[in-house]
Structures are given as C-alpha cells and as structure tokens.
C-alpha cells in the first residue's frame, strides 16, 4: 500500500446524544444572549422612560388642565 | 423503518423532565410572592361596592350617605361628538386619585367581570360572592373598561368608566 494519509476515524455511535449535548449548549447561550439583549434594549429603556415621565409629573397641575378642558362629569369647570 | 426497536431512553427522559421542572420552580417563586403582595392590607380611604347586572353596572358608596347609582352604556344612536362608541356611560364612577380604595365586586344574576385594563384591574363579579380588590389611581383622568365575562346578549354593551378626580372635587360630588 502506498503512503496514503489516513482520515481520522469518524464518530460511529452516540451521534444523537452528542448532537443533543451540542444543541443544549448553543440553545442555552442563545437564550441567555437574547434575554440579556431584550432586558437592556427594551425593559431598561422602558423603565427610564417611565422614570423621566414621573420625575416632574405634577398630578394637581394635570388635573386642573383636564378639569378646565371639561372632561370630567363629576368635576365641572367653574 | 427507523428506530423500530427504540423503546425507551431513560437518560433523555430524565433530563427533559428535570430541567423544565427547575425552570417552572424558578418562575413560580417570584410569581407567588407577587400574588401574596397583591393581597396586602393597605388601609383604604374608601370602599366602593360594584354590582354586575344584565346588562349594566351599579355602584354604591355606602361610606357616605348611601350613594347608589346605575351605570348604563350610552347607546350608539345617542352619542354626542367626541364620545366613544360602546365605551361611554351615562353615570361614571368618580374616585379620588392618589387614595387607596377598596372595591367589593359581586353580581346580581350571572357571572360578569369588572375590568379596567389601563389601571391593571380585573375581578370577576360572581353571584353570591364578594370579591375584594384594591385600587390606587396615581394620576387624574378618565379610564375605560368593559365587562370581561360572557353574560348574555348585552355582554359587549356594559362598559365601565372611572373618573379619577381631585379629593376636594370628589368630596363636593359626594354632597350632591
């Protein structure tokens, strides 16, 4: 026989198990990354928006404006 | 035939039972904590009784001189400009904003459900049962909701309208 480079022996058994193990790792990493990205870009941004809205929110001022506009049935404008 | 003699797989079945169980427990613990926090005592300033009927709501403010009134939907052919179809009512339910309120919800006939999504509140109105819910409106305004339990032909036509007004105006309204 001539000098032929031998291929490494392929995995012959347990293919499904090894595929599942690899997929579990990828799945876990992917889920973690997507969750982290969602939390940072959507949840935290939303919290900041709410905090900004309520920072200088004056319910009494808003109420007087709404009352003057006549939207309330039980609190008619003077 | 593929896997004709594949009868069991103890390892994989254990894994795909245990991992979801752990995930569910991790979801359940904070969820149950929140569920109990919802029922905390909060010393309400006011109690309002809400009764579902076919097909309208009635409200009682029995803390003060037994105020009671019905709240019917305004029919579409009687709407004025600017009113919302299937949402506006003849008598709205006024509440003071920034005050803790206790709601006792029941029904006179069949199952209804008192829901106002923008205030995050929904509670079934069950005949023969008083369901308690708490309400704290932190901003003034008008909030709309609709009956959320099928109750007959008028189920879609019994909306809820809450007016969150200032305390002084609320007290003035009570005296009427």
- Rounded to the nearest integer, the mean pLDDT of chain B is 95
Q: Name A14's Cβ contacts closer than 8 Å, sequence gap at least 6.
A: none
* pLDDT classification of A64: cutoffs 50, 70, 90: very high
Please report whether residue B37 resides in a domain: no
Please report whether residue B32 resides in a domain: no
Range of the domain at B165: 46-175
pLDDT at A1: 58
Please report whether residue B102 resides in a domain: yes
pLDDT at B2: 87
* pLDDT classification of B176: cutoffs 50, 70, 90: low
Number of other CB atoms surrounding residue B75 within 10 Å: 11
CATH, residue B65:
2.60.40.420
The reply to whether residue A63 touches residue B166, judged by beta carbons under 8 angstroms, is: yes
What is the ipTM metric for this complex?
A: 0.83
- DSSP codes joined into one string, B9-63: -HHHHHHHHHHHHHHHHHHHHHHHHHHHHHT-----SEEEEEEEETTEEEEEETT
The reply to whether residue B140 touches residue A57, judged by beta carbons under 8 angstroms, is: no
Please report whether residue B1 resides in a domain: no
Rounded to the nearest angstrom, the minimum Cα separation between A34 and chain B is 17
Average pLDDT (B54-76) is 95
Q: Which residues of B touch A60 (CB under 8 A)?
A: 166
Please report whether residue B50 resides in a domain: yes
Rounded to the nearest angstrom, the minimum Cα separation between A1 and chain B is 38
CA distance B120 to B133: 11
Please report whether residue B7 resides in a domain: no
Which residues between 3 and 62 in chain B have a beta carbon less than 8 angstroms from any beta carbon of chain A?
Answer: 12
Which residues between 15 and 54 in chain A have a beta carbon less than 8 angstroms from any beta carbon of chain B?
Answer: 20
Q: Which residues of A touch B172 (CB under 8 A)?
A: 75
Please tell me if residue B80 touches chain A, with a CB cutoff of 8 Å.
no
CA distance A59 to B61: 24
Please report whether residue B56 resides in a domain: yes
Q: Name B44's Cβ contacts closer than 8 Å, sequence gap at least 6.
A: B99, B100, B101, B102, B134
Average pLDDT (B138-159) is 97
Q: Which residues of A touch B173 (CB under 8 A)?
A: 74-75
Question: What residue of A is the nearest CA neighbor of B140?
Answer: A63
pTM of the complete model: 0.85
Number of domains comprising chain B:
1
The reply to whether residue B173 touches residue A75, judged by beta carbons under 8 angstroms, is: yes
Please report whether residue B166 resides in a domain: yes
* pLDDT classification of A2: cutoffs 50, 70, 90: low
pLDDT digits (tens, 9 = 90+) for B81-133: 999 999 999 999 999 999 999 999 999 999 999 999 999 999 999 999 999 99
Average pLDDT (A16-37) is 95
Average pLDDT (A58-78) is 95
């Amino acid at each position: 026989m001539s000098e032929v480079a031998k291929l490494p022996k392929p995995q012959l058994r347990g293919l499904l198990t090894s595929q599942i193990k690899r997929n579990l790792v990828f799945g876990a990493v992917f889920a973690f990354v997507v969750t982290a990205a969602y939390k940072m870009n959507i949840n935290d941004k939303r919290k900041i928006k709410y905090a900004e809205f309520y920072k200088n929110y004056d319910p009494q001022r808003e109420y007087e404006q709404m009352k003057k506009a006549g939207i309330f049935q039980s609190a008619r404008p003077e | 035939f593929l896997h004709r003699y594949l009868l069991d797989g103890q390892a994989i079945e254990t894994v795909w039972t245990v991992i979801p169980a752990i995930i569910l427990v991790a979801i359940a613990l904070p969820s149950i904590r929140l569920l109990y926090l919802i029922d905390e005592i909060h010393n309400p300033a006011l109690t309002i009784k809400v009764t579902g009927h076919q097909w309208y709501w009635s409200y009682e403010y029995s803390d003060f001189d037994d105020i009671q009134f019905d709240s019917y939907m305004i029919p579409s052919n009687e709407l004025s400009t600017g009113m919302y179809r299937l949402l506006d009512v003849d008598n709205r339910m006024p509440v003071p904003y920034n005050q803790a309120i206790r709601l006792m919800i029941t029904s006179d006939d069949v199952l209804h459900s008192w829901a106002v999504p923008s205030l995050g509140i929904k509670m079934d109105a069950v005949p023969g049962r008083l369901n308690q819910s708490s309400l704290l409106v932190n901003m003034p305004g008008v909030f709309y909701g609709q009956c959320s339990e099928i109750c007959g032909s008028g189920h879609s036509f019994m909306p809820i309208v809450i007016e969150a007004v200032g305390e002084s105006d609320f007290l003035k309204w009570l005296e009427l």
